[in-house]
Amino acid sequence: MSSSTASPADASGSVNGPIGESAAAPVALTSRAPHVPADRLVAEMVPPPRFDSVRFDTYIPDPNQPSQAEAVTVLAGFAAGLGGGTDQGGGRKRWFRREAKPAAPSGPRGVYLDGGYGVGKTHLLASLWHAAPAEPAQKAFGTFVELTNLVGALGFQQTVQTLSGHKLLCIDEFELDDPGDTVLVSSLLRKLVEAGVALAATSNTLPGKLGEGRFAAADFLREIQGLSAHFRPLRIDGEDYRHRGLPQAPDPYDDETVKRVAYAAEGASLDDFPSLLAHLSKVHPSRYGAMCDSIRAVCLTGVEPVPDQSTALRLVVLADRLYDREVPVLASGRPFDELFSEEMLQGGYRKKYFRAISRLTALARDAGPLVERCDG
């Protein structure tokens, strides 16, 4: 829900509207500062639009990486072992009512997907959510950041009470670089395991660490203090599918092209990049998804390296929300692989920055047809 009038478009993020001079003028993301109630944060804990239709049988394992096919088999078995059943009161759990839970079974109650960027971990995690034999209100899916935002909105105890009524919690992109948040989520997960909730999580191995064994898995199991016995680490090897066999990221366009497409493409936004970065500091990251409601293409002029770490981390969250919604990004200025300084790429948040570069590069490729349709 935005505080500004949205352009006419659906909320799917797909680009299938007409392009022509009659399209509405683009909106500016900088004009949007939406309020997101806590119940929406809970209700939206489902796989994002990009992963609505994924299933285990739509995952295409790389034949050169046997760990990928193995992961499908293990996760399908894990989903089947969760069991079914519905709530006595009409088949759906209420969000804010604590439900009686059976005692947690012994043995691993969770899986952790350990692998590099773009090997399909989120695809597999979302497939697990879809395959779990439970009502949608009995399972939750969200990124690590969204989970910490939920705790911030509801408070720790209310979050425990709300999620304890679930059969499965899937956490994408578990962050290992924020000790405070990691300890917070570790405490939350411990409470949920005690309530019988099954867990699944993903994180990223740095490109430079591939081939060095269970780097990310070891970090994960150490950081979620005391929970390691509940997780089975599952290694997934491979290269980034977003760039596998594809050309390099397209060069940035000129300002005139970006503006022309923004005015021609229905549901497009148009912003000056430095102004957008400044605006992100005024909107809580939990609201970035709502800020993108109805946006079907993001057009940016004057892309330049981000000036500091706080700004960079906010941009990472926006990139994740745009990628989740499959929103193409058309930009002028510097290419996306020059957004973050070498110091940032070598620092503690490097995993997030590499992920953002990968995802923004994929969205930049997706914007190519917009230019072709406009020029045609």
- Gap between the Cα atoms of 337 and 108, Å rounded: 39
Q: What was the pLDDT predicted at 95? A: 36
Q: Are 293 and 40 in contact (CB under 8 A)?
A: no
pLDDT of residue 108: 62
Query: In DSSP terms, which residues pair with 235 in a beta bridge?
Result: 114
Map tokens 């064994």 to a residue: 213
pLDDT value of position 8:
33
d(CA 121, CA 80): 19
Please give the pLDDT value at position 217: 59
Residues 237, 68 contacting (CB under 8 angstroms): yes
Q: In the prediction, which pLDDT does 179 show?
A: 67
User: For 203-232, what is each residue's pLDDT tens digit?
Assistant: 765 434 433 444 455 666 666 666 666 778
Ranges of residues in the chain with a pLDDT under 70 are 1-23, 84-108, 176-179, 204-229, 240-249, 376
| Tokens, residue 20 | 């022509």
Backbone φ/ψ region at 91: left (φ over 0), alpha (ψ -120 to 50), beta: left
Structural domains present in the chain: 29-35+246-375 (3.40.50), 63-236 (3.40.50.300)
Reported pTM = 0.73
Residue written as token pair 């992961």: 71
Q: How far apart are CA 125 and CA 76, in angstroms?
A: 11
**Ramachandran area for residue 185 (φ above 0: left; ψ -120 to 50: alpha; else beta):** alpha
